Chains A and B, each alone.
Chain A
Amino acid sequence: MLYREAGQFKVSYAKDQQIFPIRQDRIALLAVAFAAFVLVPLFGNQYWLSAIFIPFLIFSLATLGLNILTGYAGQLSLGTAAFMAVGAFAAYNFILRVPGMPLLVAFILAGVCAAMVGIVFGLPSLRIKGFYLAVATLAAQFFVIWALVRVPWFSNYSSSGVITAQKMVMFGFVFDTPTKKYLLTLAIVTVLALAAKNLVRSSTGRAWMAVRDMDVAASVIGIRLIRTKLLAFAVSSFYCGVAGALFAFAYLGTVEPEAFTLDLSFRILFMVIIGGMGSILGSFLGAGFIVLLPTVLNVLVHKLNATLQSAFNWQLPPGITSNLELMVFGGLIIFFLIVEPHGLARLWQIGKEKLRLWPFPH
């Protein structure tokens, strides 16, 4: 009833081409933005900001990066965590070695470094596809971490190879409290997400999708494969690099190269798959699912234990409690993939379509 586009006429090309053609979508988006930028910092406490929202946003950004590569351009990659590591270590070194380096410039340069590494490891994509490419990008994962551990210059000769993120300062303004860090992260993620949304609607994005759907056909209609694929690797790695820099600076503070393991790459790939391949919104949904659900389950299991304690003066053994979370988490992943193999974003889309037809479905 509320979600109906009847009466919304598009009278100009600009209107026809806007990101969110339906007014209700625009209103909803503005409401979400208002909540994120105003309500959350006003009412969220330190726990919510620094333990839930900041990691959620950072992982969303990394997922977005991988989604550009895997979801839009169809190039499977297992090197996401490595590109994040490049971003984190690059940002650290830029701030360390260039006096007076503004934070945002360092982040952008970190992204550029990651993009360059991404292009190098994207080169095999010109010859190989699918699972074979995944194995080739796996090399990035191992090589980058190996190099960061092995070359002491990257960690400024720290004996353990660990870097400590410097204070986040921009033009004398220090981002030190969780609220400030959250707002900085949110601003960066918002700008990059909007950029990504526009990018995938542009001719570049269409070229990516053409390559994804059939690269021979794409090259026949005049899309240059080399340029398109490498651009996808570059843009994707740029996003991952910025996410990695934020991961080190706005979230963890001190990072060892081992924080960026293959495990993290897989997690981000799962976020893409669960959220929905080739969807900007899906990146956020997938990150939310994988980052937040274990915590929610943990809280629920705690509540269950408390109830058992008060009702029967008995609790689940601690080992069972922890494993229960994993079992439920795994079960939910399988459930969602069976219900909707195209991810949470597709569920959302179906929901929207149903709403538009409601109450007269056909």
Chain B
Amino acid sequence: MLQRNKWLSGLIGLALATIAGAVSAQQTQFVPLLSYRVGAYAAGGSGLFGGWIDYMNYINMKDGGINGVKLIWDECETEYNNSRGVECYERLKNKDGGASLVMPLSTGITYSLIDRVAADKIPLVTIGYGRTDAADGRVFPWVFPLITTYWSQASAMINYLAKKEGGEAKLKGKKLVHLYHDSAYGKEPIAVFEAYAKKLGFQFTAIPVPHPGNEQQSQWLQIRQIKPDYVVLWGWGVMNPTALKAAAKIGFPRQKMIGVWWAGSEEDVIPAGDASKGYTTAVFNVSGASLPLVQDIKKVVYGKGKGNMEDDSRVGSVYHVRGMVHGIITVEAIRKAQEKYGKGKRMTAAQVRWGVENLDLDNARLKVLNAAGMMPPLKTSCEDHEGSGLVKFQTWDGNKWTIVTPDWISSDKEMIRKMIVASADKYAKEKKITPRDCSKPF
């Protein structure tokens, strides 16, 4: 056993040596990438991890790292599978001086890691997915569902619809259908929609679509009977184009369909062809090849042939830019930690955690990063591990996404916060966790 162990670590060591050899003179900061480039979700995974790697390459090539500390990373294929994800996490967490932070890009893997990161003291950052009540940093000090959670998203959708209709009062008597992927992911927002239905007096129906969602005839038959004013599409993967095609078949206007951000990429609408025209979704990152940051990355990284995307036309796509947002948060959290614990030094995971908890990406800072308007401003704190809750809405015109809300649409923070605290408190009680006192240092 010991022998094999040595042999294996020798293998890994060899892999390291080659990377480390090039940058051994410098401090390095290691980022584990639990990526998935095969399987049902490969389209999303390759775009996201491609964008993330491109941004880290960009920082290394343009600035020479974060205050001189070069970023290094290693990919481990998870296939979007919980067990493989755990194995990858365990394999990479102590590599090259230890993982700075973990972003698994899978809700299932996130759940499997929540207990582990608390024991290993590594921050777990989940941007736009994961466990919603982890936004309460008192109970989940190591977990950060940054920018926006599913609950905030549902709330922002209602706010958007209210705006569109001309005030919350106008939603009274309207009919809303929540067409969702029948999983934890799709079920999560129901509580928020129901609360709103009661508050604003609209009629709410939740219709589940079993995984993977390539068969939706009976669901759309039901929708045709209900005749809703709006359909919220909370889908994932193949379910999204199927829903758009089914809507076109029964003649339900796509203009009245609102998608969640995991139903709002090029990969979701192009397969449905013309049926997707006019379809609107929420996003927490703007996309497009003309964004200044995308242009700069094209010049600096792709110009030297170091780009990660195999298909150049996907550079600047929704998933690719979302990956860049992951990159920005990785880099900015480490940068913030360096400000406190010493510039130009390698940060430990615990120090990076402080950085994530004290992120302050206001518009001025985003402008410096060339990312103004690309992602919402973000400010985290001990209580608030979400930090933003803002989204924009975009419409597919048949060729590209166009932003239809120039300003960021906010969620009803007070209401969502209340629900998050209630849920987190219940979790704390179940797990016998004493929520920490935010006035004291962690």
Residues of A whose CB lies within 8 Å of any CB of B are 35, 39-40, 43-48, 50-52, 55, 96, 149, 156, 159-162, 164, 166-167, 176, 251-259, 261, 291, 294-295, 298-300, 302-303, 305-307, 309-310, 317-319, 321-323, 325-326
Contacts and interface: CB of A to CB of B under 8 A. Distances in A.
A47 B76 CA distance: 14
Contact of B132 (A160, A254, A322): A160
A84 B187 CA distance: 22
B438 interface: no
27 contacts: A43-B1, A44-B1, A45-B5, A47-B94, A50-B90, A51-B87, A51-B89, A51-B90, A51-B91, A52-B87, A149-B182, A149-B183, A149-B187, A159-B188, A160-B184, A160-B187, A162-B111, A162-B184, A166-B430, A252-B112, A254-B112, A256-B184, A299-B12, A318-B35, A322-B35, A322-B36, A323-B38
Contacts of A167: 431-432
Contact of B115 (A35, A253, A299): A253
A325 B184 contact: no
Contacts of B211: 258, 261
Contact of A318 (B75, B83, B107): B75
Given A254-B111, A254-B115, A298-B77, A51 B11 contact: no
A205 B89 CA distance: 41
B183 A322 contact: no
B111 A255 contact: yes
A50 B184 CA distance: 25
B5 A252 contact: no
Contacts of B108: 256, 258-259
Nearest to A326: B38
A214 B184 CA distance: 44
Nearest to B84: A294
Given A161-B187, A259-B108, A298-B77, A252 B1 contact: no
A303 B82 contact: no
B310 interface: yes
Contacts of B308: 318
A215 B19 CA distance: 62
4 nearest A-B residue pairs (beta carbon) = A51-B90, A253-B115, A306-B15, A160-B184
Contacts of B90: 46-47, 50-51
A291 B77 contact: no
Contact of A291 (B8, B82, B83): B83
A253 B1 contact: no
A55 B1 contact: no
Contacts of A96: 430
Given A47-B94, A299-B8, A326-B38, 5 more contacts: A251-B86, A253-B114, A259-B82, A303-B15, A325-B38
B37 interface: yes
Contacts, number: 147
A267 to B, nearest CB: 9
Given A253-B116, A303-B14, A51 B37 contact: no
B143 to A, nearest CB: 11
B430 A156 contact: yes
Interface in B1-44: 1-2, 5, 8, 11-12, 14-15, 17-19, 21, 35-38, 42
Contacts of B42: 319
Contact of B1 (A39, A251, A302, A310): A39
B415 interface: no
B131 interface: yes
Nearest to A317: B310
B301 to A, nearest CB: 15
A259 B185 CA distance: 13
Interface string B151-194: 00000000000000000000000000000001111011011000
A323 B430 CA distance: 41
Interface in B338-394: none
A149 to B, nearest CB: 7
A62 B75 CA distance: 30
Interface in B25-79: 35-38, 42, 46, 49-50, 74-77, 79
Contacts of A310: 18, 21
B18 A309 contact: yes
Given A43-B2, A166-B430, A305-B15, A295 B87 contact: yes
Contacts of B86: 50-51, 55, 251-252
A186 to B, nearest CB: 13
Given A159-B187, A160-B132, A254-B111, A318 B12 contact: no
Contacts of A306: 14-15, 17-19
B1 A35 contact: yes
Nearest to A305: B15
A141 B302 CA distance: 47
Nearest to B115: A253
A302 B16 CA distance: 10
A258 B183 contact: yes
B205 interface: no
